[in-house]
Amino acid sequence: MKMYIAGEWVGSDRSQSVINPFDGSIVDEVPLADASAIERALAAADRAALRLLNSTGAERQKIMERAGQLADERVEEIAQTISLELGKPIREARIEASRAGDLIRLAGFEGAQLYGQGLPLDAHPGAGKQRLGFTLREPCGVVVAITPFNFPLLLVLHKIAPALAAGNSVILKPASHTPLTALALTRVFLDAGLDPEAISCITGSGSTVGDRLCADERVRKITFTGSTGVGNHIARVAGAKKLSLELGASCPTVILDDADIERAAVAVASGGYANAGQVCISVQRAIVHEKIYADFLDALKPKVEALTLGNPLDVSTTLGPLVSESEAERVERSISESVRRGARLITGGERSGATVTPAIVADVDSSDALSQDELFGPAVAVTSVSSLEEALIAANSTTYGLGAGLFTENLSKGIKFLRGVNAGVLHMNWTPLWRADLMPYGGTKGSGIGKEGIRSAIAEMTEEKTIVLHGDV
């Protein structure tokens, strides 16, 4: 597979393998971009951004509609690619791929709705009615989009679709584990008639190409999703640019003593283990009222044990491998170290190659590393609390603030929780693992800055220009 730079599919002297984490087979090879490839991508993006300033919302929306149609037609092909390069169960990969068309069309619509506002300049002393003021929204220019491995389609589209729909050019740098889906999406936009220089998809290691892309002065906006460490590094390198950072998390779900235990157990059994727990809004922590603690564990255990580990391409598989064997080793170690510190392993936690059996770890202190540090693996740490107040303290105790969930039948307690948790996206009577592509989405604290969700992303990928018309003065 070649990468797409400055209007051309190109190779390179050096390449890297894309490995299927389930069986270790090589799925494909992609080029490792060198400095000259990056420079060509930047120069092309700069030229395209200037041309796109003259594009109309109607023209852009038409391209997005065609791209949405092509994404619909390619769902199965793209789902197979996601499953092969990431090890995501094919049924989850199909759901991910089938969201592409609507997401692109939504971006097309929002990109044609760049509303400004009228300014009440007569309220400025001395301005009277002789002046008119309003704002215009315009594309911000060259957008660099850097994406993680865990949702190789959705997290790429949540950046490139709004960027292109709003009239920007984009340089996409997908995760090294999952470049093939990103390249397939690049082809979707090109086949839909996008300006050939408006998108480049650079493959290669982020630690090699990242600084050059992020520091370049032609880039106006960096939109990054990934770990908190890399996000902080990018913020240091970027300088004065528009920046969105969607970073790490350790999301809590609180289950109070009046909750529907069965509903909560069903939701945690799916929200803690989807994509082998490699989801930023995964349920990492279940914070459970002591009165129902044992009943909740009894309800959760059979559901977690019923998850089917296996070949991701098999439709009966509900739990695939982690993205690599070293990630599986890290997750296995985090679980066993927590157990050594006094937690109780209810089920799972055994590794074979890149797979780890789905684990429930009970009696985890909320200060323990299994609660505090992002796990990104198929395990839920369960902690007992005696009140809503204690649950709030536990929920807020990490450096992260991406999502949180609460199960209760009591609206007043719900409101207290929703107001009291410091996180970007909150759910009552579900876990944080739920997302509609239209909703504002992003974290607080160490989980990042800025919001995604198509309308929010477009707001962050455009500039607001203030215009004043002066009459007789």
**Interface with ligand NDP (CB under 6 A):** 146-150, 155, 173-176, 205-207, 210, 214, 225-227, 230, 233-234, 246-249, 280, 374, 376, 402, 443, 447-448
Set 96, 110, 246, 452: catalytic member: 246
Least distance (Å) from ligand NDP to the CB of residue 153?
12
- Cβ atoms of 33 and 202 closer than 8 Å: yes
- Give dist(CA 454, CA 452) in Å, integer: 6
459, 463, 454, 464: which is closest to 160 by C-alpha? 454
Give Cβ neighbours of residue 30 (< 8 Å, ≥ 6 apart). 1, 2, 3, 15, 16, 18, 179, 180, 183, 203
- Give dist(CA 410, CA 91) in Å, integer: 35
- Cβ atoms of 152 and 175 closer than 8 Å: yes
Q: Residue 24 corresponds to which amino acid?
A: G
- Give dist(CA 341, CA 361) in Å, integer: 12
280 is catalytic: yes
Least distance (Å) from ligand NDP to the CB of residue 252?
15
CB-count burial class (<10 Å; 0-12, 13-18, 19+) for 440: middle
Least distance (Å) from ligand NDP to the CB of residue 206?
2
359, 378, 382: which is closest to 293 by C-alpha? 382
Least distance (Å) from ligand NDP to the CB of residue 158?
9
CB-count burial class (<10 Å; 0-12, 13-18, 19+) for 211: middle
Q: Using the 8-state DSSP alphabet, how is residue 248 labeled?
A: -
140 is catalytic: no
Q: How many CB atoms lie within 10 A of CB 386?
A: 11
Tokens of 188: 């979707």
Least distance (Å) from ligand NDP to the CB of residue 107?
17
Q: Return the residue matching tokens 């974290």.
A: 443
Least distance (Å) from ligand NDP to the CB of residue 224?
7
- Nearer residue to ligand NDP within complex by CB, 90 or 213: 213
Set 96, 214, 280, 327: catalytic member: 280
SS3 content of the chain, % helix, strand, coil (to 5): 40, 25, 35
Catalytic residues: 246, 280
